[in-house]
Structures are given as structure tokens and as C-alpha cells.
Amino acid sequence: MAPAAARPGRDLYEEISRNAEALAASMQALHGGSWMVTVDHEVGLVAVAPDFSKGRRTKLI
């Protein structure tokens, strides 16, 4: 049987989502405001960014 890294399964997708959500929570704790998470496995993208649709006015550094 191939190692988990060689056979992407539901558990790996869920782990990536959990890690991205954890990063968003850390950014919110540090910088405040609401943060959004985007994960797109088709293009290989994970993004954690401020959610400006919620009226955020804080300056980012």
C-alpha cells in the first residue's frame, strides 16, 4: 500500500482545510477582524486573507 502522501484521500483534504482555518484563526487573534480561507486543489492554491466584505478598516502590516 502506498504511503498517505502518495494517495491523496479525504483525510488529507480535511487536514489542509483544518490547517488553513487554524492559520486564519491565528491571524484574527493577532491582527483582529474577520479572515477568509480559500482552498482550491485544482489549481494548487491556499489563501488566507482579510475579509474586506465585512467592513474591515484596519491597516495591515
Please report, for the chain, the start and end positions of each structural domain, with discontinuous segments joined by +.
Answer: 4-54
Contact 38, 47 (CB under 8 A): yes
Return the pLDDT at 59.
Answer: 58
Q: How would DSSP label each residue in 18-51? A: HHHHHHHHHHHHHH-S-EEEEEETTTTEEEEEE-
Is the pTM of the predicted complex or chain greater than 0.85? Answer: no
In tens, the pLDDT along 2-13 reads 455 555 677 999
In tens, the pLDDT along 14-57 reads 999 999 999 999 999 999 999 999 999 999 999 999 998 876 55
Number of other residues whose CB lies within 10 A of the CB of residue 35: 21
